[in-house]
Amino acid sequence: MDELDSEIVRLLQTDARRSNRELARQLGIAPSTCLERVRSLHRRGVIRGYHADIDPAALNRGVQALVSVQVRPLSRVVIDAFKGFASGLPEVLHVFVLSGGDDFLLHVAVQDLDHLHAFLTDRLSKRGEITGFRTSVIFQQVSNTAPARLG
């Protein structure tokens, strides 16, 4: 990563929809150079993709929660199986595999508290490998929209 790569990433983080021609103009480089740099960032795994930031409430998923989950036995098979199960649930936005007292953190979004309760009792509590879970309802969320500093 040189300074030009870092600036490309910074600009794409602020607006990933800008055209290659616009990106090149802002960087003061030829469009062909810009395109090759962006392609290289993709090949190297620096840029993993582009996405739309959707408000869950706009999709009738206004209640969000973080669910800390403990599983046993702690083995790669159990961890991989639970990770696959959780990531396939439509209520789950993110799955984090952790160290420490909890093994997973699930970020979930549901319609209301009744649906959260149903998710916990009908989906999670029935899994044999889960030895416990704790739920924290999210009241507010603030995202850091500033571009990540690369170094």
The boundaries of every CATH 1.10.10.10 domain in the chain are 3-43
pLDDT at residue 144 in the model = 79
Percent of the chain with pLDDT over 70: 95
Predicted confidence band at 17 (pLDDT cuts at 50, 70, 90)? very high
Predicted confidence band at 118 (pLDDT cuts at 50, 70, 90)? very high
Domain 3-43 has CATH 1.10.10.10: yes
Question: What DSSP designation does 61 have?
Answer: -
- Residue 93: Cβ-neighbour burial (10 angstroms; 0-12, 13-18, 19+): middle
The boundaries of every CATH 3.30.70.920 domain in the chain are 56-138
103 vs 101: CA distance, rounded Å: 7
Q: Give the pLDDT confidence of 71-117 residue by residue, as tens digits.
A: 999 999 999 999 999 999 999 999 999 999 999 999 999 999 999 99
| CATH classification number, 56-138, choose in 3.40.50.2300, 3.40.50.970, 3.30.930.10, 3.30.70.920 | 3.30.70.920
The pTM (predicted TM-score) of the whole model is 0.82
